[in-house]
Amino acid sequence: MTAFTMPSLGADMDEGVLREWLVGPGDPVRRGDVVAVVETDKAAIEVECFETGTVGRLLVEPGTRVPVGTPLAVIEAIEPGARAGARGNRPAAAEPPGRALRPPVPPVPPVAPAPAAQPAPARKEPSVAAGTAGGAGPLVRHLAALRGVDLTTVHGTGPGGRITRADVEHAPPPRAPRVRATPYARRLALDLGVDLTTVRGTGEGGAVRAADVRTARRAGDGSGAGDAGAEAARPAHRPRDGERRPRPAAAVGPPEERADAMRRAIADLMSRSKREIPHYYLSTTIDLTAAGDWLRRTNRGRPPAERLVPAALLLKAAAVAAREVPDLNGHWRDDGFVPGTEVNLGIAVSLRQGGLLAPVVHHADTLSPDDLMARLKDLVQRARRGRLRGSETTGATLTVTNLGDQGVEAVFGVIHPPQVALVGFGAVVERPWAAGGMLGVRPVVTATLAADHRATDGAVGARYLTAVERLLRKPEEL
């Protein structure tokens, strides 16, 4: 049994708000499954579970603000002898009789189908273990399948504890399957009164997005106003004993409040950085003629959606150079530098409502430019839609900021603690350039480095920028 705690989703996070539970007691979870939505001062993040087991108890209610490290739920280990049906909620008919979770009892042999006109001879019925379907005949099993009733949850009232037709007919209706939906779509559906089980999702893996909820609402307003009114007049559903009660997400503050909270978080972190970290800055201008030629050859014949842009090469060069100059790739902790074991690039992304996030591309130095481009597009889109996962917001060993699309020629950034460096790229512009004794016009980019003087000196930073330049002059090696 382990505790699922409030994770740290960034160096500037001391506490967070549990916005929504995506699982409930008794639900099986596997390592990497999204189990909750946590709201920080910057964004709502989908948080994964790092253990495999079964959700025991939920210790914190949605809408509660708790410090990092606070236990949120209990994850119970799955017993080695636990039946597969308890993990996957599979149909009871697929389970061999006698494999109950309660103390073992003598197994009951399966009942062979018999003609209705030839009843089985009267005999004393052996007791049937609760939580198994061994005491149900074929007709009862068929009825349970039609009604969607899990026989392992039905208490039999027949002789020897057998499940009868009346038991199935009086069994509580099965719970509706959980609908995959984004946290914002769930909040919007709650506000608009839209039943997510009736919405067709168009997101990844059929997930319901906010646009799908709005579409369903418009369709309901046009064709189902009477049904909506009848539904509103209907009394609320009261959960039966043993049925999990829904846990609605707490209300979210207006966008202005969230923007203010993000600005305060950014202000606190950047003030801490400039107060504690002795920055030094370097810059260099890099000729991108070779990189531009390589991109044109690579993109020739590709559809527009699959073409590489200069940003992919800039990120790849920054990652490979960090591997070659590891003194800039890591963290400053406990008055000492801790080198990173992998190159994880944090990518500064500006948000439409203001502020910024820095989602992380893990193992960036091992990705091809195509894979890095695809990962970058995916992270930027989901960061701006508020659909990042916790693992995608932590672990950065070096941050890159690129303001080239804003027309800025150079950017000198502020280091994101506990990292020890930040790389900046400006716009690709044409400038007079002398090469081989000849003067011409070439595409160039200004690369900058902000580094922590506690961890490195200017000579190390110069080696890093020299490595970036060398790699961009030979893009075929990236």
Cα end-to-end distance, the chain, whole Å = 46
The better pLDDT of the pair 269, 98 is held by: 269
Question: Does residue 115 carry a pLDDT above 90?
Answer: no
Question: Does residue 88 carry a pLDDT above 80?
Answer: no
The better pLDDT of the pair 138, 229 is held by: 138
User: What span, in angstroms and rounded, lies between the C-alpha atoms of 345 and 316?
Assistant: 10
**Predicted local confidence at residue 177, as pLDDT:** 60
Phi-psi sector, 407: left (phi>0), alpha (psi -120 to 50), beta? left
Question: Does residue 87 carry a pLDDT above 70?
Answer: no
Task: Lowest mean pLDDT of 96-100, 376-380, 401-405, name the range.
Answer: 96-100
Which residue type is seen at 213? Answer: V
What is the overall mean pLDDT for the chain? 80
Q: Which residues contact 271 (CB under 8 A, 6 or more apart)?
A: none
Question: Does residue 396 carry a pLDDT above 80?
Answer: yes
Q: Dihedral through CA 103, CA 108, CA 109, CA 112, nearest 10?
A: -130
**Predicted local confidence at residue 79, as pLDDT:** 65
**Predicted local confidence at residue 209, as pLDDT:** 76
Average pLDDT over residues 41-64: 87
Give which of 55, 145, 130 is closest to 91, Cα–Cα.
145
Question: What band does 466 get if pLDDT is binned at 50, 70 and 90?
Answer: very high
Three-class DSSP category at 352 = coil
Question: Does residue 458 carry a pLDDT above 70?
Answer: yes
Question: Does residue 333 carry a pLDDT above 90?
Answer: yes
Give which of 329, 473, 308, 327 is closest to 400, Cα–Cα.
329
| C-beta separation of 201 from 209 below 8 A | yes
Question: Does residue 302 carry a pLDDT above 60?
Answer: yes
What is the percent of the chain with per-residue pLDDT over 70, rounded to a whole number? 77
**Predicted local confidence at residue 11, as pLDDT:** 67
**Predicted local confidence at residue 413, as pLDDT:** 94
Q: Which residues contact 426 (CB under 8 A, 6 or more apart)?
A: 402, 403, 404, 408, 409, 410, 411, 445, 446, 448
What residue ranges in 49-133 does DSSP mark as E strands? 53-58, 64-67, 71-76
Task: Lowest mean pLDDT of 27-41, 53-67, 155-169, 210-224, name the range.
Answer: 210-224
**Predicted local confidence at residue 438, as pLDDT:** 93
**Predicted local confidence at residue 105, as pLDDT:** 41
Residue 456: phi, psi to the nearest 5?
-145, 170
**Predicted local confidence at residue 136, as pLDDT:** 67
| C-beta separation of 85 from 92 below 8 A | yes
The better pLDDT of the pair 316, 89 is held by: 316
